[in-house]
Structures are given as structure tokens and as C-alpha cells.
Amino acid sequence: MVKLTEGIVLAKARASDLENVKKLNCWGGGLTDVSIFQQMPNIEVISLSVNSITTLEDFGFCCNLTELYVRRNCIASLSEVWFLRNLPKLRVLWLADNPCAAGDNYRATVLRILPNLHKLDNIVVTFDEVNRALEEGDELEPPINSSGIYSNGHIPNNNKDNKENRDSSMEFMTLDETNKIREQLGLKPLSSDKLSPAKHKTISSHKTKNASILSAVLTLIKELDRDSLEVVANACKDRLESL
């Protein structure tokens, strides 16, 4: 096992402490343990291509991360991308040449989980591509982290009702995400009390799709000029009138 240590990080970044490190390049070092990133919330750019990393879990602690380069590592499960879902500033991800990137639906599945990416594997992500990904990307369960907890914060249940409990956890996670977006828009949060158990399963998929689309739209709106915003506003008005 080759571990990335605090000493190596500070030497490469020429920094006095971990909190001051903004960029780090450890290309081709044969690294297997990069848990040091759990202590680096301010890092913005990480380059760790051509190593032997097997999980993305440690990067989930880097709340200011904007670019992550982990090409040619040993990440086997595409579910690992879930660990990056709560990184609000992540815009660039290079995950190609990992075992998890071999599937035909790889790109659409990654964008379904991370619809706010601007670039994936050095290819620009378009608004239309994100929309297609939300429809066509595989719906993956979140992985279990090193603490034995799902990456969405729920503890797995090993009894015969395990699948039902995981489905329920996913639904409540979606409700939480939806309420965060509603809060940004100045709307009152939805209450799970008002949804009967029978309705949860029917509504879950629809909520997941809507929450992901809305998150992507709110991000892309910031990039539009005045003329484009007027087009969007008119389209929204027409859509509301048709409902």
C-alpha cells in the first residue's frame, strides 16, 4: 500500500499546512491510500491520474473541489461517483480509463448523478446531453462508505426487508434535495408527512428526475446572457400556462 501523507502533500504543494493547499498534482505515484484529502476541505484542483486508487470516497470531503483528475486508476464501480454528489463546485471530472468507465452507458450514468459538470473526460457537457442523461443514465444505488453507511447518509439494514428500506432511504434523500432547491427559490419545504407510503414509490422517480433537472437548470441560468434569459423566461411562462 502506498499512502499519500501530509509530508508529501506539503512538500509538493510548498505549503505550511493542509488547509492552505489549493492544488495538488501527484501523477503516476502508485498511490492506493489518499485518505489525507479528508483533512483538506479547501483544495480546489486534484490531479491523481495513473495511480492505484480504488474509491472516490475521500474526495467527498473536499467541499471546494472544482476539478478532479483520476484517469487510469483502479475504480471498479461507477457507484463511487455518488461520493462526489454533494460537492457544489465540482465542474470538471476525468474518470476515463478506469474499470468503471468501460460500460456503454458510462457517460450518461455519470451525468445523471452529477448533472452540474461542465466537462467529463475532457469533453464539454451540453445542456441537451444532461437532459438525455437524466432519462437514459442508469439508476445506481449509492455505495457503502468505510463507516458502513450509504453515501446518502443512511445506515444499511441487513434483514429481509433490506431492499425496501434502501428504497425508502433513497426517497427521503430525494425529498431533502428537493427541499434544498425549494429553499433557494424561496418556497416552503415539502413535508414527508403529507405523502402516504403508497404514494412514495410512485413519486420517488419523478422527484429524483425533477430535482436533478432543476439543479442543472439553476446552474446553467447563471451562464446565460440577457437575450437567452428572456427566451427561457418566455418558455417557462408558456409551460406554466399549459399546466
**Cα–Cα distance measured from residue 77 to residue 151, given in angstroms and rounded to the nearest whole number:** 14
Q: Which residue has the higher pLDDT, 238 or 103?
A: 103
Give residue-wise pLDDT tens across range 179-229: 665 565 556 666 655 444 444 444 445 555 566 666 667 666 766 777 777
Domains of the chain as residue ranges with CATH = 1-156 (3.80.10.10), 164-243 (no CATH)
**Cα–Cα distance measured from residue 212 to residue 114, given in angstroms and rounded to the nearest whole number:** 8
Give residue-wise pLDDT tens across range 131-167: 999 999 998 888 876 555 444 444 444 444 444 444 4
- List the grid coordinates of 162: 433490506
pLDDT confidence band for 17 (50 / 70 / 90) = very high
Q: Which amino acid is at 191?
A: S
Nearest residue to 32 via CA among 10, 13, 14, 55 = 55
Residue with cell 492544488: 23
**Cα–Cα distance measured from residue 237 to residue 239, given in angstroms and rounded to the nearest whole number:** 5
pLDDT confidence band for 120 (50 / 70 / 90) = very high
Nearest residue to 187 via CA among 214, 209, 205, 212 = 214
Edge-first strand listing for the sheet containing 123-124: 23-25, 45-47, 67-69, 92-94, 119-120, 123-124
